[in-house]
């Protein structure tokens, strides 16, 4: 299990669920390099932890994350940014095989919005605000927003968000399909943990296969995606959890999934 650091609080509030909390509330959880490294290390640890079946990601205080810490960008050169290997730090999150649920309150801007978009389910408070304002300060997104936002909401909505840098209220984000669920601010983390708890109680091999297939659908054509699904469906018949799940349903009792 990943360990807490001053910048990233890690806990296991429910069996099978890890809770990661960005811990720079005085900076609205801006992503400096130390926090980015801590996040990547935590996700690598959790990816290989068989006791963790779902991850909830949120921020301490009033914001999820207001984006990159611009103090580290002001004087940075091309070579310095190149040497930071940011793609590897983002990759540790993107490659997590466990379902990731983002619990978003307050600001999720720039890199903070991109961080939320690395999750599989986004629960947002009614006062949450999303956006990619990089263009307003002479930058472009560097954590995948030009690709992930476009896949989530389509070309025309993505162009508006990325080219204007305008903030997107949570209600509009829901209407566009950028988030999964809108909730009262005080309930966001509770609802995210409830999703994670329910997912953690399901057969982990089936859950992992579903996540892989949905993500693959974003990069493959329909025919290729359907072939992947057929193979995964056939493989599931080798699992003990398949037999247990069907048997429990027929016997009208709760299933006892082992993860095998």
111 is annotated as an active-site residue: yes
Contact 137, 70 (CB under 8 A): yes
Helices (H), ranges, the chain: 33-47, 78-83, 86-94, 111-117, 145-153, 155-164, 170-176, 188-200, 204-217, 222-236, 240-250
Residue 95 annotated among the catalytic residues of the structure = no
**CB of 122 within 8 A of CB of 116?**
yes
Q: Which two tokens stand for residue 224?
A: 């290729």
102 is a catalytic site residue? no
- Catalytic one among 102, 106, 114, 144? 114
The residue from 68, 102, 170, 183 that is catalytic is 68
Catalytic residue among 59, 67, 106, 111: 111
Q: Taking the chain, what is the end-to-end CA distance rounded to the nearest angstrom?
A: 21
What is the CB-side half-sphere exposure of residue 219 using CA atoms within 13 A? Answer: 7
Q: Please tell me which residue in 38, 103, 128, 134 is annotated as part of the active site.
A: 134
The H or E element spanning position 19 is strand 17-22
The reply to whether 3 belongs to the active site is no
For the annotated catalytic residues, the residue numbers are: 68, 111, 114, 134
């Amino acid at each position: 299990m990943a360990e807490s650091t001053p910048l990233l609080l890690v806990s296991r509030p429910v069996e099978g669920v890890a809770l990661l909390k960005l811990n720079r509330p005085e900076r609205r959880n801006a992503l400096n390099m130390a926090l980015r490294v801590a996040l990547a290390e935590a996700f690598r640890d959790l990816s290989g932890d068989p006791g963790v079946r779902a991850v909830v990601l949120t921020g301490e205080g009033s914001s999820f994350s207001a984006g990159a810490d611009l103090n580290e960008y002001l004087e940075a050169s091309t070579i310095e940014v190149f040497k930071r290997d940011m793609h590897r730090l983002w990759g540790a999150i993107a490659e997590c095989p466990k379902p990731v649920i983002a619990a978003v309150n307050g600001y999720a801007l720039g890199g903070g919005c991109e961080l939320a978009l690395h999750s599989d389910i986004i629960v947002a408070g009614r006062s949450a605000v999303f956006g990619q304002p990089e263009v307003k300060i002479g930058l472009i997104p560097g954590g995948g927003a030009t690709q992930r936002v476009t896949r989530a909401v389509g070309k025309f909505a993505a162009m508006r968000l990325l080219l204007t840098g305008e903030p997107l209220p949570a209600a509009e984000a829901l209407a566009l399909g950028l988030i999964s669920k809108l909730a009262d601010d005080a309930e966001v983390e509770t609802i995210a943990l409830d999703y994670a708890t329910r997912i953690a109680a399901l057969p982990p091999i089936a859950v992992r296969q579903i996540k892989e297939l949905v993500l693959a659908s974003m990069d493959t054509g329909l025919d290729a995606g359907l072939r992947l699904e057929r193979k995964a469906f056939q493989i599931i018949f080798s699992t003990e959890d398949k037999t247990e799940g069907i048997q429990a349903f027929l016997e009208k009792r709760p299933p006892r999934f082992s993860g095998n």
